[in-house]
Chain A
Amino acid sequence: MDYEAVVGLEIHVELNCATKMFCDCPNRPGDEPNINVCPTCLWLPGALPRLSEQALEKAALLCLALGAELQPLCAFDQKVYYYPDLPKGYQLSQAHLPLSRGGAIDITGEDGAPRRLRIHHIHMEEDVAKLVHEMEGRTPIGLVDFNRAGTPLVEIVTEPDFRTPHEAMEFLKALRTQIRYGGASECSMENGTMRADANISIRPRGTTQMNTKVEVKNMNSVRHVGDAIAYEIERQTASVESGEPVVLHTRLWDPDKKVTSPMRAKFEGPCVPDPSVPVIRLSGEWIAEMRARLPEMPTVRAERLATEYGLAPDEALTVSADPQVADFFEALAAQEIEPRTALHWLTTQLLPAVKDTRQELSVCRVTPARLGALLKMMAAGKINANAAREVLTRMFHTDDTPEAIVAAQGFTQVSDPDALGAMVQQVLDEQPAAVADYRGGQVKALGFLVGRVMQASGGKANPKVIRELLTDRLSAAE
């Protein structure tokens, strides 16, 4: 029998707020353990939660960035379970009245056709403490780090609209882009600021029933989500075909072995309204204010980049996928750098270098102004492309202007025909075979000769001038 998968995703996103969700402790879970704590996030007797305004704003921006509808009334509930990572015995979450409902993401399916993947709702939630397992001599010990307790999260719960691993992966990529645009989170699965769980079931293709699902956790990249879903579809199909029913449970993805294996689930009780966090009423004006804060979203921006700068549709999509990259590109273009040059240098030189040096584009030393100055020197013929690449490498390690680096390193391009004439003549004298080849009709030989002159000039010669001098002399002597 032919089966199809029915997949829904539950995505946790850590909001990039300055403080935790219900207290003023810094939201820096990675700090030295248990330094960002207070009576509220340790839940000592007498403590009260105070919802952070910034957390509410960021969560609202995230919802709006995904086309979701903010609800006029939302409230926190207690998700009751007992575990050492949760000392108060319940997690504050929104089970009954979530922050938003609806929303969708449009992707392109494997067949090239557009697919709309719907979001059921988005709710706010606090993170729990982190358990660290270590050995004390031969005794295994469990340690609890409360820096993460109370970190602001949202959970995005989709409709079971996904049929293939491809759809899930495309959805996650688009989701990440849109949330980054909203400025609410970095959404890095690798760094754990975005975590996705998948609910997967299968059914005979063409039917509409909803069968028992299996939840899969622990995928820490978009690729892993795709792999885990693919594996689970195969596993469930084999299981059903061998007459074994699928039972409701949770499985963990093992990225090394590329398999899922069952895990023991935490006991979870029902959710009761929390009596300490007041219900949240969002006015129409407040929602409008949040909407006004939202920047131009990626698909809209891609269209504008294509028309305004003449980028190809796929180039425009690539640039707009990351707001930092798109902002950088537009900042270069604003300095009257030719858009294609700006795109070329940004994508082939700057971004790989930023990645290599493990920096963030937004905070790296090479600002749009500095790269713009460099590209202008190149456009004006003051330096050649080789030198520009050299200068760019150095710009990562100094705050000197590109002009200063060029001057200090002697990268200024030599374009003076008199200065280059002697070098050109010397190469012609030394390379009779290449000269003969060229005169014999092998045009390629010219490139070789240009390269020799460049080498002789220490990379500073203007290749355009060399080429002119060479063709002049080669034809004149004939």
Chain B
Amino acid sequence: MESTFAFLNPEPVFQGSPHGGADDGYLRGLRVALQPSISVRDWPAEAGSVALSGFTALEDATVVQRLRQAGAYLRGYTRMSEFGFGLGGGEAGAALAEGADIELVLDLMGESRAAAARWKVSAFKPSYSLVSRLGIVGLIPSMECCGLVAPDLGTIRKTLQTVAGPDDLDFSLLDEETPDLSARTIDPAATTVGLIREAADGLSTERQEAFHTSARYLESRGFTLKELSLPDFALFSLVHRIIGSVEASSATGRYDSVRYGPRAPGARNWNEMYLRSRDAAFGTFLKSFLLQGAFFQFNRYEAFEAACRIRAQLVTEMANLCLRAEYLLLPTPQDTPPGPTVGAPADRPASLSATYAQFDSTLFANVTGQPALYLPPTADGTRPGFQLSGAALSDGALLSLGEHLLSDANGEEW
């Protein structure tokens, strides 16, 4: 059977911190699977794209440096969708079944959370500007973030504590000290969870049902549920489509087959070489996204500007909702089953619209930059699945809420 890993660490066993330096032992022995969009020196960081085939990372991403420093073992690169956009053709989450304790999955529109839903594990998308993007081969710089996928939240928290925090080499990060990421006690009686009414609009009956089951479960655990309204919730998807595609269009402008990547033959000049090589390198699905971005950039710039204004407004509105409830409950991502065999192309969505429908409940956090947590349901159905969120940089508290829900200490029949 073909491995879910596209590349395995040539160092077969954990040998302590590399380069002779002592590690601090915080993650000692933790086996980390990485998507090949996260640079590891000398590894083929091809980001799931033909355009990067043959490209070898020159430096460790900041995230990787910190993992090594903490004594984690980098197990290898997984197979990922083209630049991590959507889950089609990738194997996000599958490495957990092949001896990885945690997998780092680039979250552009909810991929880490959707992968976790598929594999019935947990996923955490940190706040934007909490984790360095240096060394991440990205697609949508203002929305993407390193998602953490693992069976248990303890591993996710320790990994987040390791990789988060200021980086002299990423100026988009916070200058201030890292917010408190330690565990804290959750008192349900003193905690309000907001439920955005419009987030359930347009969902299938099943997903609406699941959403309300999650809400009832929270109530049964003693939390106060508060219904909130965000009439513009549907605009998250539109804003992501416009801004995300424009950013992707310019972010992929550098793939010209000059320095790396296959060069299409037969070109008579540099311009033809660019055009042919790019045509051959990008998949149809990604191309439709890039072309859409180019369209907004060159033909409908005013729509892009409007999307930027709406985005700013949505950020404010969500921040205001977070003042009315400490946490937010959102529908879980569409539960798509894993592909039939590991390594085979998974169910690739046919179109951009289908992909956006798949991520309709997750991409809000990529647009606003706030953290989001996915918790899987139990196999016996005694506890439903959740997607929870909170104010930007409330990551530590959000993980604590998750830990509280997963512990059955206070569980009652419901």
User: What is A's interface to B at a CB cutoff of 8 Å?
Assistant: 39, 42-51, 78, 80, 82, 84, 87-90, 142, 269-270, 272-273, 275-278
Nearest chain B CB to A31 CB, angstrom units: 21
Q: Would you mind naming 29 contact pairs between A and B with Cβ atoms under 8 Å apart? A: A43-B254, A44-B58, A45-B39, A45-B47, A45-B52, A45-B55, A46-B45, A46-B59, A46-B135, A46-B136, A46-B137, A48-B171, A49-B171, A50-B170, A50-B171, A80-B250, A80-B297, A82-B253, A82-B256, A82-B274, A89-B253, A90-B250, A270-B298, A270-B301, A272-B246, A272-B304, A275-B247, A276-B172, A277-B171
Decide if A51 touches B250 in the complex (CB within 8 Å): no
Q: Is the CB of A88 within 8 A of B169?
A: no
Residues of chain A within 8 A of B259, CB atoms compared: 42, 44, 87
Taking the closest CB of chain B, its distance from the CB of A49, in whole angstroms, is: 8
> Which chain B residue shows the least CB distance to A82?
B274
Which of the four size classes fits the interface of chain B?
A: 35 or more
CA distance A277 to B52 in the complex (A): 24
In the complex the two chains form, is B254's CB within 8 Å of A48's CB? no
User: Known contacts A39-B59, A80-B253, A90-B253; is A272 also within 8 Å of B134 by CB?
Assistant: no
Alpha-carbon distance between A281 and B372 when the two chains are bound, in angstroms: 29
Q: Hey, which chain B residues are within 8 Å of A275, CB to CB?
A: 140-142, 247
In the assembled complex, the CB of A296 is this many whole angstroms from the nearest CB of chain B, namely: 35
- Return chain B residues, CB-CB under 8 Å to A47: 134
In this complex, what residue of B is CB-closest to A87? B254
Cα(A272)–Cα(B245), bound, Å = 12
Give the interface centre of A47, A82, A90, A275 by most chain B CB atoms within 10 Å. A275
Q: How far is the CB of A274 from chain B (nearest CB, A)?
A: 8
Interface 0/1 of B251-262, CB less than 8 Å to A: 001101011000
Q: Which residues of A contact B298 (CB under 8 A)?
A: 269-270
Given A39-B59, A270-B298, A275-B141, decide whether A46 and B253 contact each other with a Cβ distance below 8 A.
no
Q: Point out the residues of chain A lying under 8 angstroms from B352, CB to CB.
A: none
Asked if B45 and A272 make an inter-chain contact with CB atoms under 8 angstroms apart, the answer reads no
Given the complex, which residues of A lie within 8 Å of B256, measured CB to CB? 82, 87, 89
In the complex, whether B414 has a CB less than 8 A from a CB of chain A is no
Q: Which residues of B contact A42 (CB under 8 A)?
A: 259
CB-based contact B172/A278 at 8 Å: yes
Q: Which has the most chain A C-beta neighbours within 10 Å: B142, B253, B297?
A: B253
Interface residue B125 (Cβ < 8 Å from any Cβ of A): no
CB distance from B52 to the nearest CB of A (A): 6
Residue-wise interface mask of B (238-279) relative to A, using a CB-CB cutoff of 8 A (1 in contact, 0 not): 000000001100100110101100000000001100100000
Residues of B within 8 A of A (CB): 39, 45, 47, 52, 55, 57-59, 61, 133-138, 140-142, 169-172, 246-247, 250, 253-254, 256, 258-259, 270-271, 274, 297-298, 301, 304, 308
| Sample of 7 further A-B pairs with CB below 8 A, known A49-B171, A80-B250, A89-B256 | A39-B59, A45-B45, A48-B171, A87-B254, A88-B253, A270-B301, A278-B172
A270 to B61, CA, bound (A): 31
Find A78's partner among B59, B136, B250, B271 (CB 8 Å cutoff). Answer: B250
Q: Could you tell me if B58 and A272 are in contact, using CB atoms closer than 8 angstroms?
A: no
Cβ B297 vs Cβ A89 within 8 A: no
A residues less than 8 Å from B250 (CB atoms): 78, 80, 89-90, 272
B55 to chain A, nearest CB (A): 6
Which residues from B are CB-within-8-Å of A39? Answer: 58-59
Distance, CA A269 to CA B250, complexed state (A): 11
Q: Do B254 and A45 touch across chains, with their CB atoms under 8 A apart?
A: yes
Closest to A90 in B: B250
* Of listed A48, A80, A88, A273, residue having the most chain B CB within 10 A: A48
Residues from chain A with a CB closer than 8 A to the CB of B308 are 273
Q: A45-B47, A89-B250 are in contact. Are A51 and B52 (CB under 8 A)?
A: no
The CA-CA distance from A104 to B102 in the complex, in Å, is 60
Q: Which residues of B contact A88 (CB under 8 A)?
A: 253-254
A50's partner among B57, B138, B169, B253 (CB-CB below 8 A) is B169
Return B235 CB to nearest CB of chain A, in Å.
19
Q: How many whole Å from B253's CB to the nearest CB in chain A?
A: 2
| Residue in A closest to B256 when the chains form the complex, CB atoms | A87
Closest 10 CB pairs of A and B: A89-B253, A275-B142, A275-B141, A45-B137, A88-B254, A46-B135, A46-B39, A46-B137, A50-B171, A276-B141
Give which listed residue, A46, A90, A269, contacts B57 with CB less than 8 A. A46
From B138, B171, B254, A51 is in contact (CB under 8 Å) with: B171
When chains A and B are docked, how far (Å) is the Cα of A177 from the Cα of B138?
44
Whether B134 contacts A46 by the Cβ 8 Å rule is yes
Given contacts A88-B254, A90-B253, A275-B142, are A48 and B247 in contact (CB under 8 A)?
Answer: no
**Residue of chain B at shortest CB distance from A45:** B137
**From residue B390, how far is it (CB to closest CB) to chain A in Å?**
23
Please, how many angstroms separate the alpha-carbon atoms of A365 and B63 in the complex?
52
Nearest neighbor of A267 in chain B, beta-carbon distance: B271
Complex CA distance for A245 and B215, rounded to whole angstroms: 71
Across the interface, do B61 and A46 meet the contact criterion of CB distance under 8 Å? Answer: yes
